[in-house]
Amino acid sequence: MQFGPTPLSPAEAALRAEVREFLAAELPPDHRPALGFAGRHDPAFSRKLAARGWVGMALPPEYGGHGRSAVERFVVAEELLAAGAPVGAHFVADRQTGPALLHYGTEEQRQRFLPGISAGEIYFSLGMSEPDSGSDLASVRTRATRVEGGWTVTGTKVWTSEAHNNHFFAVLCRTSPMEEGKKHAGLSQLIVDLHADGVRISPIPYIDGSHHFNEVALEDVFVPDDMVLGEIGSGWQQVTSELAYERSGPDRWLSTFPVLREFLREKAGTGVSDEEATVVGRLAARFWAIRQLSLSVARALDAGAAPAIEAALVKEVGTRFEQDLVEALRVAAETELDQGSGSLFGELLAEAVLTSPKYTLQGGTTEILRSVAAKGLSA
Amino acid sequence: MSDDRAMLTDVATGLFRDLCTPEDVVAAEATGWSERLWSALAESGFPYVSVPEEAGGSGGDIADACALLTVAGRFAAPVPLAETGLLGGWLLAAAGLELPEGPLSVAVGRPGDAVELAGGPGAWRLTARVQRVPWGGRSERVALLADAGGDRYVVSAPVASAGVTGGRNLAAEPRDTLEWTDAGLPDDAVGVAPAGVTGDALRLRGALSRAALISGALARVSELTVRYTGERHQFGRPIARFQAVQTHLVTIAEEAQMAGLATEVATLNARPEPGFFDVAAAKAAASEAATIAARASHQAHGAIGMTKEYELGQLSRRLWSWRDEFGSERYWSRELGRQLAEAGADELWPRISTGLGNA
């Protein structure tokens, strides 16, 4: 295990102070906190954040990025999440697709996409899940066939968050037929323009009634050769390393934090009972402990380590904690859930009850993570 | 970890490995004591780590002492290591009192304890009843805090003049009730407690000591469970291959790491004294971790874990004891929650996001 205590350096602490100041100035007093990175899509906010250099932090300056460390990204991410900032427009491109393009993309692709990602102007969705492929990702059936100058893609992707608002998605598809016993071979990633001919986006109503998920049907969509991400046939390796990116970041344990803060705010007038204090204290203690596990993974990444087991453990415990928090506060508050209750705490709590099951599903389910972590522990 | 502290940990690990085997622990539980282990520890100066050298201690800081306690917890060490240095030694040294040769314990300040110090220089008298004193009957002295005439004193109370009623925790570690009835004390057994040497400060140190012991025991529980489930075959394969068993392994590892890191940060931040938030959070996390990990580990082990001799039981019985000593997870969560509520909603995140301070 590579978990270890690590402080923020003075420079990292100064960065944090800058982000706090920015958020205090930018978020209006009646700002309704978003729960998690996917909470709210707000291009104007994404651009403002980018103007401060806080989008594309992992990308090098020659592509408009900022070459910042994993810990610096951690510091910015945790402040955004704690404040419930609306970062839904850019976060997939920022966290996942940008680094993948930097890693596997051609020079031309980097020039084309990375400056826009860093400017908070180009947004990506994920193109992995399908109706019959969830945790067993290698079973995807979306198929790309070789044609003159590129590929033509046919298949259906689901749970595509914000496809109706974003620009592109990186589609995992089969570029050669599955061979018995070689399930992970023959997969590739193609960058598909969500506005291309043959792309049909239809909403899948989200559990809370909002429009968040989509089904994206691809019918003979032409993808030119210069939109192939990485090597043809290396899609599996690319996607699994992409999933490991920041698997253990603050977005895996901080999504429901605003509910706790608003609970305390609501109690400011009356004070807390012993039982409420116990719940608040327990949650704060675990936040404090989990945060340091997560921070120590970022520090290890900066030191060049590959803390895969640690990252899986943090996501597993962190996302379950995001859910535990919601239920602990519900019990403490002795309330009936109502999305329109008129109390900020009550409304956030209701939203969190409806949406928090996703935390232990997205980016690797709890069950998959346990299997990854347990194999590492036993090795 | 600093090089010095890493070396201290290595040396201590070697010592415990030789002198505190599971068999040694079984033997010590029968009598409540391991003279062999204690002598070796005392000879190396370990019990008085964190007590200043000028006061007769071994020097080092709270983080050093807690690093030793983490090793002690890992080996289920049946000796009052925390009580002698970090707790009792601190009290005596702060008040300018001499450290005893033999083991030293401390009255933890439980509800229902009564300590009455009367008289004055040349004629001090002690009447006290203190409960669940760790290894109280085995100790040479017990450090007590007493209020008299508007001042707070530290008393180095000789066990020889006390009535002792034996008690034990679930791990058969002595937790004795001691009574002094109008016992005379020499002047060198009473000293004024300086500012900061209070029952609350003692409680923080005590809770931190138990969090450190728990961390060590949890790390060992995690290793034992990984080893056992890798070796034990059922249905033709190691049980660690079953997803349901993997869940236990992951749960234990998470809880052990969480408690361990929280405690380590709390000890590193304890300069000069442990902070309330750090200790409350670390002890709350460690006590909860003790409960969760002990349960998962027993489930993964099956019946072998339920035997007195197997190492797991030695550890789980300590986890079930230490989690409640110096305040349970509920106690510290409540105290922490009260303070956070008083500080207000906008102070919550700045507090949670303050981890390890810069040296």
Residues A261 and A368 in one domain: yes
pLDDT band at A179 (very low <50, low <70, confident <90, very high): confident
Tell me: pLDDT of B145 over 60: yes
pLDDT at residue number A246: 63
Write out residues 226-255 of B within 8 Å (CB-CB) of A: 226, 229-230, 240, 243, 246-247, 249-250, 253-254
B264 touches chain A (CB under 8 A): yes
> B230: nearest CA in chain A?
A378
CA distance B18 to B194: 40
| Closest chain A CA to residue B247 | A370
Give CATH superfamily name and number for B3-192: Butyryl-CoA Dehydrogenase, subunit A, domain 2 (2.40.110.10)
pLDDT of residue B197: 97
Q: Is B45 helix (H, G, I), strand (E, B) or coil?
A: coil
Closest-CA distance, B25 to chain A, in angstroms, reads: 27
For range B193-217, the mean pLDDT: 98
Q: With pLDDT > 90 as the criterion, what percentage of chain A qualifies?
A: 88
Which one, of B332, B92, B346, B288, lies nearest residue B194 by Cα?
A: B92
Q: Which two tokens stand for residue A86?
A: 């609306």
A359 shares a domain with A252: yes
Q: In the structure, what pLDDT confidence band is assigned to residue B359 with cuts at 50, 70 and 90?
A: low
Interface subset of B 330-359, CB within 8 angstroms of A: 330, 332-338, 340-341, 344-346, 348-349, 351-353, 355-359
Residue where one domain finishes, among candidates A233, A263, A283: A233
Q: What is the pLDDT of residues B277-303, one digit of tens each?
A: 999 999 999 999 999 999 999 999 999
Q: Do A378 and B333 touch (CB under 8 A)?
A: no
Q: Which of B226, B284, B329 sits opposite A378 (nearest CB)?
A: B226
- Report yes or no: B106 and B90 within 8 Å, Cβ to Cβ: no
What is the per-residue pLDDT for A2? 77
Sequential DSSP letters for B235-281: TTEEGGGSHHHHHHHHHHHHHHHHHHHHHHHHHHT-SSS--HHHHHH
Residue A4 lies in a domain: no
Count the domains in chain A. 3
In terms of Cβ atoms closer than 10 Å to its own Cβ (0-12, 13-18, 19+), residue B116 is middle
Are A319 and A338 members of one domain? yes
Q: Residue-wise over B166-188: b if at least 16 C-beta within 10 A, else e? A: eeebebbbbbbbbebeebebeee
Evaluate whether residue A238 is within a structural domain: no
- What is the pLDDT at residue A364? 86
Residues A173 and A293 in one domain: no
d(C-alpha B87, C-alpha B57), whole Å:
12
Give residue A38's pLDDT.
85
Whether A5 is in a domain gets the answer no
Range of the domain at A84: 10-122
* Distance between A79 CA and the closest CA of chain B, angstroms: 9
Q: Is 70 exceeded by the pLDDT of residue B245?
A: yes
pLDDT value of residue B2:
79
Is B356's CB within 8 Å of A10's CB? Answer: no
Nearest CA in chain B to A282: B333
Which residue type occupies A75? V
| Residues written for chain A | 379
Q: Which of B253, B261, B337 sits opposite A272 (nearest CB)?
A: B337
Contact present, B129 and B182 (Cβ < 8 Å)? no
Q: Are residue A26 and residue A73 in the same domain, yes or no?
A: yes
Report in angstroms the alpha-carbon separations of A334 from A48, A208, B102, B169.
39, 21, 54, 37
- pLDDT confidence band for A295 (50 / 70 / 90): very high
**pLDDT tens digit sequence for B63-95:** 999 999 999 999 999 999 999 999 999 999 999
* A293: nearest Cα among A280, A282, A309: A309
Query: Does residue A242 register a pLDDT over 90?
Result: no
DSSP class of B306: G
| Chain mean pLDDT for chain B | 97
pLDDT at A261 exceeding the cut of 70: yes
Does A284 sit within 8 Å of B340, measured CB to CB?
yes
Count each helix (H run) and each strand (E run) in chain A, helices first. 12, 8
Length of chain B: 359
The pLDDT of residue B263: 98
Whether A116 and A129 map to the same domain: the answer is no
Read off the pLDDT of residues B297-332 as tens digits, 9 standing for 90 and up: 999 999 999 998 899 999 999 999 999 999 999 999
Cis peptide before A61 (omega within 30 of 0): no
The residues spanned by each domain of chain B are 3-192, 199-352
**ipTM of the complex, rounded to two decimals:** 0.96
- Residues A251, A315: contact at Cβ < 8 Å? no
CATH number at residue A151: 2.40.110.10
Class of domain B199-352: mainly alpha
